[in-house]
Amino acid sequence: MIKNDYDVIVCGSGPAGLSAAFAAAELGARVALLEKQRELGGKIPYSGNGRCNFSNVLDDVPFMNSFGRAGRFMTDALRCGGRDWFCEHLRSHDVPVTVTDGFHYFPESGKAWDVVDSFLLPLQRAGADFRTDTVVSAVCRTPDGAACGVRLASGEELYAKCVILACGGTAMSAVGGTAQGLRIAQQLGHRIIDPLPAMAPLYLEEEWLRELSGVSLKNVQLQFVSGRNHGKTNGEMLFTYDGISGPAALSLSNEAYRIWLEHPDRFDLKLNFDTRVDWQRQIDTFRKQDGNKFLRSSLSSFLPKSLAHAVCKQLGWEERKNQTLKDTERDTLVRLLTACPLTISQLCPMERAMAMSGGVTWKEIRPETMESRLVPGVYFAGEIMDLTGPCGGYNIQFAVASGRLAGLSAANSLRS
Ligand SMILES: Cc1cc2nc3c(=O)[nH]c(=O)nc-3n(C[C@H](O)[C@H](O)[C@H](O)COP(=O)(O)OP(=O)(O)OC[C@H]3O[C@@H](n4cnc5c(N)ncnc54)[C@H](O)[C@@H]3O)c2cc1C
């Protein structure tokens, strides 16, 4: 018989792994937290520009819907480790929280490390074992196929009845992204949905937008249609030297890149520069009240000057005055301002993506426990699974909630 070193081994120390280890230790399990990097915390220290936007104000249903059709998978996870639990956990570990803009939750200190410490310090006190610079390469199995521990890249084996895979995704290897967790899951027989960049800038072909690099807009709408697939985001956006970034673009990328790859020729992407403006009425007002003014300078009262100029230049109307615009030309301008056609030029490299879409298919994971349907004793948590949310605290909240459910389920399975 195998002698167990631990009850629960958690692979990866991001929000999913920390929350899983914390939950298992809460139920008295002997826990080991294994991390391939020198420091614990996964991507938390880098999140939200070092401030960690860890959740948001949405209720569970709209929160889940933001992950697409598969979102309902997280119903049980949110029930045990959703926003209310997470906020209470932070407060009770001396990390007051704040909602900065009516939507995004942050630690009041503005320090992402406080979120890491809220898990680590109690884990330390509970006697959990931490091992950094430790790469897990495989899950060990008993002759009847159940998990019984992990094999490390060093060749050493550690034994436990439950193994939680919380290895994150492949985005941004500079801050810990890796495919190692996916490879381990694949060795166990799990199906992996191809990893693609998510929360990533959109690379565009439009040369005329390049000169706007650094210009930001507050109220855009981005929209794509491709056959029966469509997606839409609203909010802030930033022009970059090779495309667009900012929350509206990053959030759209989760779905947009996958669908664009399927049919690049049928992918129709459009940008509305400012959804608050009724452009047709506004341009008519320019024509009536400011007829002698240059169109570019009238547009500048609603758009950043460089964008107003770029739009006029794109139409060859740099020197046009408002009163010279015919109705058909007004309509052309309105179309450009409300449905500016954009063309994706290439896939964003994983290095620049903040998250991964794809991963271990949720169809092979039990939503009520996070346990693998294929290998008893193996649990999944966080971004390693094929569930990715947009910008705005969704992904860390889901990682923590799924980690908590996995940790509690693993520890409970040992009791029974
Ligand atoms: C720059 C940046 C900013 C972000 N900002 C936000 C934000 O403000 N709000 C938000 O909700 N989301 C944000 N995200 C996304 C969010 O950080 C991730 O979705 C989240 O951290 C995923 O949690 P996780 O625990 O599943 O994975 P991770 O945080 O990636 O942690 C996984 C850990 O597992 C370790 N690991 C992997 N393989 C092995 C192995 N074989 N053996 C041992 N250890 C292993 C990794 O080193 C890593 O430490 C941001 C991401 C980035 C990159």
Model confidence pLDDT, tens digit, residues 181-231:
999 999 999 999 999 999 999 999 999 999 999 999 999 999 999 999 999
Residues 109 and 28 in one domain: yes
Of 313, 347, 381, which residue constitutes the final position of a domain?
347
Say yes or no to pLDDT of 1 above 60: no
How many structural domains are present in the chain? 2
In this predicted model, what pLDDT tens digit does every residue of 229-245 receive, in sequence order? 999 999 999 999 999 99
In this predicted model, what pLDDT tens digit does every residue of 119-155 receive, in sequence order? 999 999 999 999 999 999 999 999 999 999 999 999 9
CB of 13 within 6 A of ligand 1: the answer is yes
Structure tokens given for 211: 């000169």
Residues 227 and 146 in one domain: no
Half-sphere exposure of 319 (CA within 13 A, CB side): 0
Q: Return the residue whose CA atom lies nearest to atom 14 of ligand 1.
A: 47
- Is residue 309, in this structure, part of any structural domain at all? yes
- Distance CA(388)–CA(394), nearest Å, equals 8
- Is residue 2, in this structure, part of any structural domain at all? no
- Is residue 3, in this structure, part of any structural domain at all? no
| Average pLDDT value for the chain | 97
Residues 230 and 87 in one domain: no
Q: Return the residue whose CA atom lies nearest to atom 17 of ligand 1.
A: 43
pLDDT of residue 415: 84
> Which numbered atom of ligand 1 lies nearest the CA of 18?
25
> Which one-letter amino acid corresponds to residue 205?
E
In this predicted model, what pLDDT tens digit does every residue of 295-340 receive, in sequence order? 999 999 999 999 999 999 999 999 999 999 999 999 999 999 999 9
CB of 382 within 6 A of ligand 1: the answer is yes
Instruction: List the one residue out of 172, 142, 176, 173 whose CA is nearest residue 157.
Output: 142
- Is residue 234, in this structure, part of any structural domain at all? yes
Structure tokens given for 160: 């436990």
CB of 71 within 6 A of ligand 1: the answer is no
Residues 240 and 111 in one domain: no
Q: Return the residue whose CA atom lies nearest to atom 50 of ligand 1.
A: 47
Residues 211 and 291 in one domain: yes
Of 305, 324, 347, which residue constitutes the final position of a domain?
347
Global pTM reads 0.96
Residues 228 and 323 in one domain: yes
- Distance CA(289)–CA(303), nearest Å, equals 19
Helix (H, G, I), strand (E, B) or coil at 380: strand
Q: How far is the CA of 47 from the centre of ligand 1 (A)?
A: 9
- Distance CA(258)–CA(359), nearest Å, equals 13
Q: Mutation test of ligand 1: which of 167, 380, 384, 402 has the most ligand atoms closer than 8 Å to its C-beta?
A: 167
- Distance CA(21)–CA(406), nearest Å, equals 9
Q: How far is the CA of 171 from the centre of ligand 1 (A)?
A: 8
> Which numbered atom of ligand 1 lies nearest the CA of 397?
11
- Is residue 239, in this structure, part of any structural domain at all? yes
> Which numbered atom of ligand 1 lies nearest the CA of 135?
42
In CATH, what number is assigned to the domain containing residue 62? 3.50.50.60
- Distance CA(181)–CA(284), nearest Å, equals 58
Residues 189 and 154 in one domain: yes
Residues 84 and 138 in one domain: yes
Instruction: List the one residue out of 231, 225, 239, 202 whose CA is nearest residue 352.
Output: 202
Residues 90 and 174 in one domain: yes
Given a contact cutoff of 8 angstroms between Cβ atoms, the answer to whether 116 and 44 are in contact is yes
Instruction: List the one residue out of 238, 335, 217, 222 whose CA is nearest residue 279.
Output: 335
Q: How far is the CA of 344 from the centre of ligand 1 (A)?
A: 27
Residues 126 and 13 in one domain: yes
Q: Write out the residue range of the structural domain in which residue 157 sits.
A: 8-197+354-415
Q: How far is the CA of 242 from the centre of ligand 1 (A)?
A: 26
- Is residue 151, in this structure, part of any structural domain at all? yes
> Which one-letter amino acid corresponds to residue 73?
F
Given a contact cutoff of 8 angstroms between Cβ atoms, the answer to whether 318 and 312 are in contact is yes
C-alpha separations of 89 from 31, 108, 110, 372, 395 in Å = 19, 14, 17, 27, 18
Residues 89 and 45 in one domain: yes
Of 287, 317, 347, which residue constitutes the final position of a domain?
347
Residues 78 and 215 in one domain: no
